[in-house]
A and B are shown apart, each in its own frame.
Chain A
Amino acid sequence: MRHLIAIAATLVATLSATAASAAVDVFACVPEWGALASELGGAKVSVYVASTAKQDPHRIEARPSLIARMRSAEIAVCTGADLEIGWLPVLLKTAGNNKVQVGQPGYFMAAELVPRLEVPARVDRAQGDVHPYGNPHVHLDPRNILRIGQALAERLAQIDAANAAYYQSRWTDFDARWRKATAVWEGKAAPLRGMKVVPYHRDSSYLVNWLGLTEVTTIESKPGVPPSAGQLAALLNRLQAEPAGAITVGAYTDPKAAEWLSERTRIPVVTLPYTVGGTPQANDLFSLFDDTIDRLLAARK
């Protein structure tokens, strides 16, 4: 009997210890926020990334596995600004998790924290799958990462108050490293200023804005709608008359149209990682920017 009590006591102690030390379950909609949560949360968070760099963040299926992960999440770190509108609402509605509902500390929408580009003056789906809250691909400007990172560190500290100091120190460290890295990137990318690029989808506007590139046009004539043969021919004429430095495609986009244009215009296609995991080199947020700039610089030569 005494043994039993001892065993039970040990069990309870172990269980409560694991409960106390259990990492915060983070549901990251897209890889960039998963990477940021890992940078700031370190060993105190357990990050599940719902999509990969090979997947179009607009079009993720609300798969059963995602519902299962959302059910146990303590914080959902997503982009917002309607990027995940085709799937996130289903997850939130069916997962039975009160912690991640709108307005709760566990509902973290990154794009809401930064000024957004390309907010349409009028919203009409004749313009394609436009985002009424502006371009949601905010993570390709490192200054946005800082704004979002600070808010995320604060949010993690709010959710997991026992480790608030830990998140604060991780943030201070990240902040310093990131500022230093940003200065290096800006120096390295100085020759790119004014470079003409033709992205496939308008997913690099923040990069273009930050580095002072010039976006000539996009291959998609309307967001989310693949170009027709006629539109490609018109684009070909335009690019032959007015050459650009690079045609850029994200890792998740179909490169066919870009390659077709490249063959005929001799403008190189540059596959940009777009997010963490998009290329073998882009393993985390730092190398995402390293690799993006390296690839653009290589295209210039």
Chain B
Amino acid sequence: MYRARITALAVALVCTAPGIALAQSNTELEEIRKEIQNVRESYEKRIQELETRLQQAEDSAQRAQETAQRAEQQAQSAAATAPAASAAPSQNAFNPGISLILQGAYRNYSEDPDTRGITGYAPAGGAGLGEKGFSINESELTLSASVDQLFYGQATFAVEDEAIEVEEAYAQTSALGHGLTLKGGRAFSGIGYQNSLHPHAWDFLDPALVQNVFLGPNYVMDSVSATWIAPLPVFAEVGGEIGRPVEFPFEDSNHSKNGFTGGTLFARLGGDIGASHSYRAGGWWMRAENRTDEGTPILDFDDRTGVANTLAGGDTEVWGLDLVYKWAPDGNPTRRNFKLVAEWMQRKLDGVLTYDNGGAGVSDAFQAKQNGWYIQGVYQFIPQWRLGLRYDRLDSGSIDSGVNEANGITAADYSPYRWVAMVDWSASEFSRLRLQYNHDKSQQGLTDHQVFLQYIFSLGAHGAHKF
């Protein structure tokens, strides 16, 4: 029993001895575990740190790459734009944009232009025909640019043999908004269709007869003007100008009056009909006061009296209607296109007419009411080539000359007209060569056969053309 106890104890001891040993090793293990745990934790921490560092490194690498890419792109675009900057001076980027129109013609007349008149409208030599033979009289220099954030400025100088003429020099607003534009300076009046076009943009070498005799050939004013475009899906514009007419309709529209000697009003509608057709139609009115004392030789009565009659005082009023219609298949004018323009005008001329017969002047009130019109079509039948045809007509109208009626100051019994045909060729948008023939019956009893050869070259800033 005792032995058994001892044995049991021994067994127990034996059994527990490793237990003690185990217990000892357990605590060590625990420590080791802890250490491992510590190590692991610190490792994990380090790994985490490393991972975040790696992530950061990767991020920054990516960023660096992105930056590099961006830099490369920028470099590319810089490379792409840099030559453009150096190439810019010959283009619009140049400030101001410079555009030079080289224009000239060879003219051949069967009648002498220096003695040619327009029956009922212009005395001999007053038909407004260009010089015989070769001339370069219509070259133009245009400078234009934004003035600042509010204004845009443009000037066009016509270069002629004796002088440089200021055709236009104006500034206009660009920041008013609401469809409103104000303009001040010297500018082609916005009335009608042909009036605001520079000669290089005309479809024929010469202006229409009615344009030439009533507005001659561009009615220019030193003025302020306003135009307003309605907020509609169709084009609806109204406008007006007030100021002083330059040179025309009275030769010396001098500064003898404060304020205004001329004004205009105009209204237009325009839009598209499908993709292939577009139009613009308008009506207008202009009035100019005659402030000259000496009188202006305006009407043709020379062949009846042999001397110049002059008109003083009074005023000119002109009403007009204009229509432009354009066709291009699918709206693409590159291959084929057609353009139709028609204008009708009526003029009322008031004043005191002096019938001057060898120094014995007879003066009386005078009023003339006359009208005229033209219709023209230009067809581009293949790329680069265009054909044009125009019919011009003036009516003699009615004249009330008071006592001078007895002196033969009455309406002419003749309606001047003219047929015009042209063909032109454009190597590019920037050049045009034109051959034109006029069958001119604007002077009673004469047929003037006129042949013109014209060139129009456009240098510098790319022109943008009006409708």
Known: A52-B275, A116-B77, A123-B91. A93 touches B430 (CB 8 A): no
Tell me whether A252 and B270 are in contact (CB under 8 A).
no
Tell me whether A117 and B80 are in contact (CB under 8 A).
yes
**Is A177's CB within 8 Å of the partner chain B?**
no
**Is B166's CB within 8 Å of the partner chain A?**
no
Q: Chain A residues with Cβ under 8 A from B84's Cβ?
A: 119, 132-134
Proximity string of chain B (76-92) to chain A, C-beta cutoff 8 Å, 1 when within and 0 when not: 11011111100110111
Q: Chain B residues with Cβ under 8 A from A117's Cβ?
A: 80
Tell me whether A119 and B272 are in contact (CB under 8 A).
no
**Is A38's CB within 8 Å of the partner chain B?**
no
Tell me whether A116 and B80 are in contact (CB under 8 A).
yes
Q: Using CB atoms, name the residue of chain A closest to B78.
A: A115
User: Which of B81, B383, B462 contacts A82, CB < 8 Å?
Assistant: B462
**Is B332's CB within 8 Å of the partner chain A?**
yes
Per the bound structure, the CA–CA distance linking A98 and B175 in Å amounts to 4
Q: Chain B residues with Cβ under 8 A from A82's Cβ?
A: 91-92, 462
Q: Chain B residues with Cβ under 8 A from A52's Cβ?
A: 275, 330-331
**Is A169's CB within 8 Å of the partner chain B?**
no
Per the bound structure, the CA–CA distance linking A141 and B294 in Å amounts to 71
Tell me whether B229 and A95 are in contact (CB under 8 A).
yes
Tell me whether B272 and A54 are in contact (CB under 8 A).
no
Tell me whether A86 and B177 are in contact (CB under 8 A).
no
**Is B464's CB within 8 Å of the partner chain A?**
yes
Tell me whether A254 and B467 are in contact (CB under 8 A).
no
Q: Using CB atoms, name the residue of chain A closest to B458.
A: A125
Tell me whether A93 and B152 are in contact (CB under 8 A).
yes
Per the bound structure, the CA–CA distance linking A254 and B93 in Å amounts to 31
**Is A90's CB within 8 Å of the partner chain B?**
yes
Per the bound structure, the CA–CA distance linking A43 and B406 in Å amounts to 77
Per the bound structure, the CA–CA distance linking A97 and B176 in Å amounts to 7
Tell me whether A67 and B233 are in contact (CB under 8 A).
no
Known: A72-B231, A103-B149. A132 touches B87 (CB 8 A): yes
Proximity string of chain A (65-94) to chain B, C-beta cutoff 8 Å, 1 when within and 0 when not: 101110110000000001001111110111
Q: Chain B residues with Cβ under 8 A from A68's Cβ?
A: 229-230, 232-236, 270-271
Tell me whether B278 and A64 are in contact (CB under 8 A).
yes
Q: Chain A residues with Cβ under 8 A from B24's Cβ?
A: none
Q: Chain A residues with Cβ under 8 A from B172's Cβ?
A: 93
**Is A129's CB within 8 Å of the partner chain B?**
yes
User: Which of A56, A63, A96 contacts B176, CB < 8 Å?
Assistant: A96
Tell me whether A93 and B174 are in contact (CB under 8 A).
yes
**Is B292's CB within 8 Å of the partner chain A?**
no
Per the bound structure, the CA–CA distance linking A93 and B269 in Å amounts to 18
Q: Chain A residues with Cβ under 8 A from B462's Cβ?
A: 82, 85-86
**Is B360's CB within 8 Å of the partner chain A?**
no
Tell me whether B333 and A101 are in contact (CB under 8 A).
no
Q: Chain B residues with Cβ under 8 A from A60's Cβ?
A: 331
Within the complex, what minimum Cβ distance (angstroms) separates B384 from chain A?
Answer: 7
Per the bound structure, the CA–CA distance linking A103 and B181 in Å amounts to 19
Within the complex, what minimum Cβ distance (angstroms) separates B21 from chain A?
Answer: 67
Q: Using CB atoms, name the residue of chain B closest to A135.
A: B80
Within the complex, what minimum Cβ distance (angstroms) separates B182 from chain A?
Answer: 9
B174, B175, B232, B384 interface centre (most CB from chain A within 10 Å): B174
Known: A87-B464, A132-B93. A64 touches B268 (CB 8 A): yes
Per the bound structure, the CA–CA distance linking A124 and B89 in Å amounts to 11
Q: Chain A residues with Cβ under 8 A from B79's Cβ?
A: 115, 119
Tell me whether A85 and B332 are in contact (CB under 8 A).
no
**Is B63's CB within 8 Å of the partner chain A?**
no
Within the complex, what minimum Cβ distance (angstroms) separates B43 from chain A?
Answer: 40
Q: Chain A residues with Cβ under 8 A from B236's Cβ?
A: 68
Proximity string of chain B (438-467) to chain A, C-beta cutoff 8 Å, 1 when within and 0 when not: 000000000000000000000000111111
**Is A163's CB within 8 Å of the partner chain B?**
no
Within A219-253, the residues touching B (CB, 8 Å) are 224-226, 252
Tell me whether B465 and A90 are in contact (CB under 8 A).
yes
Tell me whether A254 and B464 are in contact (CB under 8 A).
no
Per the bound structure, the CA–CA distance linking A196 and B174 in Å amounts to 48
A56, A94, A99 interface centre (most CB from chain B within 10 Å): A94
**Is B146's CB within 8 Å of the partner chain A?**
yes
Q: Chain A residues with Cβ under 8 A from B278's Cβ?
A: 61, 63-65
Can you show 17 pairs from A to B with CB atoms below 8 A apart? A52-B275, A61-B467, A63-B326, A64-B467, A65-B278, A68-B271, A93-B172, A96-B179, A96-B227, A103-B149, A115-B76, A116-B80, A119-B83, A125-B428, A125-B430, A132-B93, A252-B334
Closest 6 CB pairs of A and B: A64-B270, A64-B235, A98-B177, A54-B330, A115-B77, A68-B235
Residues of A within 8 A of B (CB): 51-52, 54-56, 59-65, 67-69, 71-72, 82, 85-90, 92-99, 101-103, 114-117, 119-125, 128-129, 132-134, 224-226, 252, 254
- With contacts A90-B464, A132-B88, A226-B383 known, what are 7 further pairs, Cβ within 8 A? A63-B278, A64-B235, A64-B268, A68-B234, A123-B91, A129-B428, A224-B429
